Amino acid sequence: MKEFNITLIPGDGIGPEIVNEAVRVLDKAGQKFDYKLKYTKILMGGCSIDEYGVPLTDEAVAIAKSSDAVLLGAVGGNVGNSRWYDVAPNLRPEAGLLKIRKELELFANLRPAYLYDELKDACPLKKEIIGDGFDMMIMRELTGGLYFGERHTEEVDGVVTATDVLTYNENEIRRIAIKAFEIAMKRRKNVISVDKANVLDSSRLWRKIVKEVAADYPEVTYTDMLVDNCAMQLVMNPGQFDVVLTENMFGDILSDEASMITGSIGMLSSASLGTTKLGLYEPSHGSAPDIAGKNIANPIATILSAAMMLRYSLDLDEAADAIETAVAKVLKDGYRTTDIMSDGMKLVGTREMGDMIIERI
């Protein structure tokens, strides 16, 4: 039997409730697909501030680093109305997130945008455009580009002027391009690389390096697309996308656009990967303090993040498929949490949603 060490970060708000359901689902899949996960819990966010005075201790980071994968709920309290925010920015809950991403050297962010047939009504696009639905993976570079470049504001000839520098080197581009092609090999073998090569030097280098990497993956179809065109294509013909590979700022914007066309925040999973197999898996939503402790949060985004963990860090693709199929079946059978509830469906809580998914694995 295969065994793996998983670091669990329940975090704050609804975090503990949704992570708990993901663990129950993972364990059920483990019985069926013959693997065992050993969990070590660490504190991060507000709960760590309460216990240790900092959002993430070095000891907690060391535990995460020595594990095979990290599964996170969410961190943070009610912004503006919580004891965790009257402190320096590096001591706030979200600083824990930045620290763990940096310490684990996670440079690739993956956000799937998948439209379930049963949730088509929540999609803001017209039926003719939705067609048979869509299933794409937005892959965003996470540690380079404009957000990490030099920046300053100064007065130039009496005019206040702000500057942000966008830099990418060939190594940063190559490592994420390799990840994108590897991920495409586990999917429908299609990569669209998004840039602004008609204007930016950094995009020209991006295009050159991605093309070089593509040559090593002859089975994968690869095309380039300009970012402005991609923004339009996402709402005109979302079905054409499989893996969308792009740099930090373009990815920030396009991943939000792609997630909005799926219609529901409680369903959106994500993963952050580095050069090794160790990755961080978390729902795209926050800690939802408004609904914490009420057993009404939708655990599906976290459960789907756990499925990504099985696929990308542990190479347990069959178990990942089984979880994803079980989620689709639960929706087909009409069970909904409040955030995705519609007429004629059966309302269930966090725990019951976990039970329904477990029953179908």
Q: Which residues are catalytic?
A: 147, 196, 228, 252, 256
Q: Which is nearer to ligand NAD, 44 or 209 (CB)?
A: 44
| Residue 77 binds to ligand NAD (criterion: CB under 6 A) | yes
Tokens standing for residue 353: 């949603």
Q: Which is nearer to ligand NAD, 22 or 244 (CB)?
A: 22
CB of 109 to ligand NAD, least distance (A): 11
Whole-number Å distance between alpha carbons of 192 and 241: 7
**Of residues 185-224, those binding ligand NAD (CB under 6 A):** none
Half-sphere exposure of 182 (CA within 13 A, CB side): 17
| Residue 287 binds to ligand NAD (criterion: CB under 6 A) | yes
Strand extents, DSSP E, the chain: 2-11, 35-41, 69-74, 108-114, 135-141, 151-156, 159-164, 190-195, 221-226, 243-246, 269-273, 279-283, 335-336, 346-347
Interface stretch with ligand NAD, choices 60-68, 76-84, 107-115, 239-247 (CB under 6 A): 76-84
Residue from 8, 22, 70, 74 that binds ligand NAD (CB under 6 A)? 74
Residue from 282, 322, 323, 348 that binds ligand NAD (CB under 6 A)? 282
Residue from 266, 274, 279, 354 that binds ligand NAD (CB under 6 A)? 266
Residue 88 CA, distance from chain mean position = 27
Q: Which is nearer to ligand NAD, 172 or 282 (CB)?
A: 282
**3-state secondary structure (DSSP) of residue 154:** strand
Residue from 99, 140, 179, 285 that binds ligand NAD (CB under 6 A)? 285
Interface stretch with ligand NAD, choices 57-65, 103-111, 286-294, 325-333 (CB under 6 A): 286-294
- Sign (positive/negative) of CA torsion 199, 201, 206, 211? positive
Residue 307 CA, distance from chain mean position = 12
Q: Which is nearer to ligand NAD, 30 or 251 (CB)?
A: 251
Interface stretch with ligand NAD, choices 27-35, 52-60, 141-149, 288-296 (CB under 6 A): 288-296
Interface stretch with ligand NAD, choices 70-78, 117-125, 135-143, 315-323 (CB under 6 A): 70-78
CB of 302 to ligand NAD, least distance (A): 8
Distances (CA, A) of 223 to 179, 193, 199, 246, 256: 16, 6, 18, 12, 22
**Of residues 292-311, those binding ligand NAD (CB under 6 A):** 297-298, 301
201 Cβ contact partners less than 8 Å away, ≥ 6 residues apart:
none
Residue 297 CA, distance from chain mean position = 18
Question: How deeply is 290 buried, as exposed, middle or buried, from its count of CB atoms within 10 A (0-12, 13-18, 19+)?
Answer: exposed
| Residue 79 binds to ligand NAD (criterion: CB under 6 A) | yes
**3-state secondary structure (DSSP) of residue 79:** coil
Distances (CA, A) of 346 to 9, 102, 337: 30, 42, 8
* Residues near ligand NAD, by CB under 6 A: 14, 74-77, 79, 94, 97, 265-266, 282, 285-291, 297-298, 301, 339
